[in-house]
Amino acid sequence: MPILRVALDLPLHRLFDYVSDEAGHGDVGLRVRVPFGRGERIGIIREVREDSDWPAEQLKPAIAILRDLPPLPEDFFRLCDFASTYYQAPIGEVILQALPVGLKRLAAPERRAGRRTAAVATVPAPELTGEQAAAIAAVSLGAGFAVHLLYGVTGSGKTEVYLRLIEKALAAGGQALVLVPEINLTPQLETRVRGRFPGAGVVALHSELAEAARERHWRAALEGEAQIVLGTRLAVFTPMPRLALMVVDEEHDASFKQQDGMRYSARDLAVFRARDLEIPVVLGSATPSLESWANAKSGRYQLLTLQERANAQATLPAVRLLDTRRMVLQEGISEPVLAAVAQRLERGEQSLVFLNRRGYAPVLACPACGWISHCRRCAANLVLHLADRRLRCHHCGFEVRVPKSCPTCGNQDIHPFGRGTQRLESWLQEHFPEARIVRVDRDSVKSRKQWEAMLERIHGGEADILVGTQMLAKGHDFPKLTLVGVLGADAALFAADWRAPERLFAQLMQVAGRAGRAELKGEVLVQTQYPDHPLYGALVAHDYPSYAATLLEEREQAGFPPYAYQAMLRAEAPDMADAIAFLTSARALPVAQEHSEIALYDPVPMHLSRLANLERGQLLAESPSRRALQTFLPQWRKAIEGIKAPAKLRWHLEVDPLEF
């Protein structure tokens, strides 16, 4: 009888064999119901074979092969196999996580027909700029694998380049996959794509979709009905039978990295997938990741540059640094910023005051006894949210009511320290009583609907001053926005995480890019105590390439990525001693001593050393050779699985970690 080799959603690095008399070789890639333990599960048929490594009498029969979907294509499995090997993730988990929830359920829910998305009017394409035309010409569809790094300043019209390339892919009968960091933040992009390709069955795939919609969209992609898929990181796994082009927009964005469960980089998987399918992939950014930039510099990626803003009247904003060491600040804001905001109010233009810290104040404290609002579950402070009178942990979600007096000494005079967007908003409102102020952060905008409504208000001219976090920094065009004031940026300059400056620069370039997107000239004022820092110098000059060169040189000297390859072993347990002891054992394993090209650092507590009542430690493995690291990791992982650890200890490996 045929043997089915089945992938199941289990944390084990293997497949499971069943017998089935109804199976044929064409059934690879179909879902199957199988008995498991005392229950049943849905798995994916990975192989149909004649023999098993297990004695035939031990194999259980599969219950039913589900034939309601076309089989998952072979290239989907190649992608999953690669992800499983590269990221040391159990193959069954990798395959099953790529499926919509509804398709993994034993009792399939009633399927309702989907709502048709309203037809949108076709939007004509603008005439291309010379730079855009050159970039488009450089990408040939149908000529095999290539990675193109589209480096274009904010407003240079990268999206138009994507749209024209998608058009070509569709004309040749192909499908296109566009990955974006957070789809909620970019409803404008979805509208633009739908407007350009009204008949292409554009579908979105992201986590905010209702389950049924997600399943419908995913099916449409698999069945080839949807020609364009627009999605967040998980969408990189979407099976698409005629995939001809991939685009990763804002390729530097950290949200392409999955930070829990299977820790993978969707951007890097997109590159693998393009190579595997022999198709082009376009990575776009105004501030590429240093990894991609180094690849472009070495010629592995092809660099396409857009230096000018696409709208001929729009120029890059003038960036000015305000040295706050010599200034009197009111509530953290300098006189020049206030004057510039006042001027915009007079002219009927919009200002954006950027502060990347939400809440009212980062901490509440008692000056009498020294009490501060600590999270009792994490090594972090509780943030004061005055809007709903809560103290809230931004790491674990724990929250309590704001106490009326100090919990330790009873002092009624407890103070907020530092400031966040809520405090800034209320102070600005007092200072500019006539101004209409809109605060945009994760507390004021919780859903896509709220976000769209807020964007509409801003576009409709119902806002004079925007106060916001990085949420506001991403790809929006506000034609009346002519001033961006940046507060509190210095904090990231000297952060413990050595990638912090790279992220800060990208963020500031992006937020500065909001000013002066249309005819009105934009101005950006950055408050800093370190005006001589090279990061700010590059920001003033709009010079990503020189700052990238500086950072790459530092990385090369320090032997950091992209000049080294890393993997992080993390352990968490109720006691730090247990976590560190486990990591120490992992470091002392014989296999860890045998690989001379691998350096293992000392186990240390993580920067956020306690999260939700668990103490966390980490151990960095590093090698100048990716191949050496990849050879080492599976052997190390197997050996680590053999370490006797306390029952409550959890561990994982993260390859190419982004956060420290």
Phi then psi dihedrals of residue 379, to 5 deg: -85, 60
Applying CB under 6 A, what is the total number of residues that bind ligand ADP? Answer: 17
600 binds, among Zn ion, ligand ADP, none (CB under 5 to 8 A by kind): none
Residue 202 or 380: the one with the smaller Cβ distance to ligand ADP is 202
Binding test (CB under 6 A) with ligand ADP, winner from 84, 88, 97, 156: 156
Q: Provide, rounded to whole angstroms, the least separation between the CB of residue 323 and ligand ADP.
A: 30
Instruction: Provide the residue type at 356 as one letter.
Output: N
Residue 307 or 450: the one with the smaller Cβ distance to ligand ADP is 307
160 is a contact residue toward ligand ADP (CB under 6 A): yes
- Comparing CA positions, the residue from 528, 428, 457 lying closest to residue 487 is 528
The region, left, alpha or beta by phi > 0 then psi within -120 to 50, assigned to residue 172 is: alpha
Binding test (CB under 6 A) with ligand ADP, winner from 43, 92, 100, 157: 157
Q: Provide, rounded to whole angstroms, the least separation between the CB of residue 656 and ligand ADP.
A: 26
Q: Provide, rounded to whole angstroms, the least separation between the CB of residue 286 and ligand ADP.
A: 7
* Half-sphere exposure for 137 (CA within 13 Å, toward CB): 7
Phi then psi dihedrals of residue 17, to 5 deg: -95, 140
Helix 544-558 vs helix 500-512: crossing angle, to nearest 10: 170
Helix residue spans in 380-499 (DSSP H): 421-431, 448-459
Which region, judged by CB under 6 A, interacts with ligand ADP, from 84-92, 154-162, 234-242, 520-528? 154-162
Q: Which of residues 454-493 bind ligand ADP (CB under 6 A)?
A: 475, 477
Residue 155 or 485: the one with the smaller Cβ distance to ligand ADP is 155
Q: What angle do CA 73, 76, 79 make, to 5 degrees?
A: 155
Which region, judged by CB under 6 A, interacts with ligand ADP, from 151-159, 265-273, 365-373, 639-647? 151-159
Dihedral of CA atoms 584, 554, 656, 263 in degrees, nearest 10, equals: 100
157 binds, among ligand ADP, Zn ion, none (CB under 5 to 8 A by kind): ligand ADP
126 is a contact residue toward ligand ADP (CB under 6 A): yes
132 is a contact residue toward ligand ADP (CB under 6 A): yes
- Write the CB contacts of 67 (distance below 8 Å, at least 6 apart in sequence): 30
Q: Which of residues 398-437 bind ligand ADP (CB under 6 A)?
A: none
What whole-number distance in Å separates Cα of residue 245 and Cα of residue 164? 11
What burial class does residue 151 get, using C-beta atoms within 10 Å of its C-beta: 0-12 exposed, 13-18 middle, 19+ buried? buried
CB neighbourhood size of 188 (10 A) = 16
What whole-number distance in Å separates Cα of residue 517 and Cα of residue 412? 49
152 is a contact residue toward ligand ADP (CB under 6 A): yes
Binding test (CB under 6 A) with ligand ADP, winner from 52, 255, 311, 630: 311
398 is a contact residue toward Zn ion (CB under 5 A): yes
310 is a contact residue toward ligand ADP (CB under 6 A): yes
Instruction: Provide the residue type at 278 as one letter.
Output: E
Q: Provide, rounded to whole angstroms, the least separation between the CB of residue 186 and Zn ion.
A: 30
The region, left, alpha or beta by phi > 0 then psi within -120 to 50, assigned to residue 25 is: alpha
Q: Provide, rounded to whole angstroms, the least separation between the CB of residue 109 and ligand ADP.
A: 39
158 binds, among ligand ADP, Zn ion, none (CB under 5 to 8 A by kind): ligand ADP
303 is a contact residue toward ligand ADP (CB under 6 A): no
What whole-number distance in Å separates Cα of residue 87 and Cα of residue 97? 14
364 is a contact residue toward Zn ion (CB under 5 A): no
Contact indicator for 140, 148 with CB cutoff of 8 Å: no
Which region, judged by CB under 6 A, interacts with ligand ADP, from 124-132, 358-366, 379-387, 427-435? 124-132
Binding test (CB under 5 A) with Zn ion, winner from 19, 327, 369, 493: 369
158 is a contact residue toward ligand ADP (CB under 6 A): yes
What burial class does residue 313 get, using C-beta atoms within 10 Å of its C-beta: 0-12 exposed, 13-18 middle, 19+ buried? exposed
* Site residues for Zn ion per CB under 5 A: 366, 368-369, 371, 375, 377-378, 393, 395-396, 398, 406, 408-409, 411
* Site residues for ligand ADP per CB under 6 A: 126-129, 132, 152, 154-160, 310-311, 475, 477
